[in-house]
Structure 1
Amino acid sequence: MFEKLYPDAWVASTYDIPFEKLYRKGYRGIIFDIDNTLVPHGAPADARAEALFARLKEIGFAFALISNNKGPRVQMFNENIHAYTVCDAHKPSPVNYLKAAALMDVPKDKVLFIGDQIFTDILGAHMAGIYSILVQPIHPKEEIQIVFKRKLEKIVLYFYKKKRQREKNS
């Protein structure tokens, strides 16, 4: 029933993801949401984010940022990151996920997406045919429309956890 909304993986933080392992599995590109995935909503890239992107570059990954925000917000974050960017992306539309993969020149089956919202980030990645990783939001302060969606996400995640438990027990 909720299958298109289920992430392929769910982790506590972007900063806990074993990127070297994913590279060994054949992934070559990563598309990131920004707000509450990498930094609190509206914040510039901090030292931790900058270190992450330096590490990803060293591993060999291409990377892109995709955001429903306008250009100035995305460019402020990207100032020291130097990622490909897609602004005003209209997530969950899959079009700009595929555009981000094309900008990185990586086939979509070698790309993974990391974001904090099910109804925009994860759904869009699935519709684009891209592996998705859901992370817990970095900061609890969010816009009202997101607060409402978080209540619905709890329902989806309840069924996701039950499905994962059944798979473990099989």
Structure 2
Amino acid sequence: MKNYGVQIPSLVLLVLVVLISLVGCAKNDVPIPSITGGESSLNATSPKLSEDAAKAMQLEKSIDGIVSITLRDIEGNVIDRKFTEDEIKGIETAFNESFIMDTAHIEMITGYTMTIELEDEREVFISSYGQEGYIVARIGDGQTYHLGCEVIGRILLSK
């Protein structure tokens, strides 16, 4: 007498897999609602961010009261470069006016890195991945931003 006890569950499983692959698991193809508030061309960020979210992020990343700026090469050696008061103010303005990119970026460092020490004892670490118009900035131990900022990008990629 044959034992069909093992073959029947295997057959049922095979039929279920075929049905699910043909029909799918969902009842209907329902679009997933956007949590970003739809398209917005009014902000200086990627159009995927809502206007309110973009403004909040811009405020959150703002810096003021630069105490010092240090440039380092790819090996971490300090570059002998002193910034004038006007240059420091220009870097602060460029950083605050930079636009947040809501896109992926390469996780590599090219050129110099910049460390900005602020009066409130926070540090801003800025690096480049080789494109002059874009930088990656981390404020303190917190948020990392992919930013469009040619002024700082040019400094990081200068020789």
TM-score (norm: length of structure 2): 0.25
User: Which is higher, the Rg of structure 1 or of structure 2?
Assistant: 2
Q: More helix per residue: 1 or 2?
A: 1
Higher relative contact order (CA 8 A, sep 6+): 1
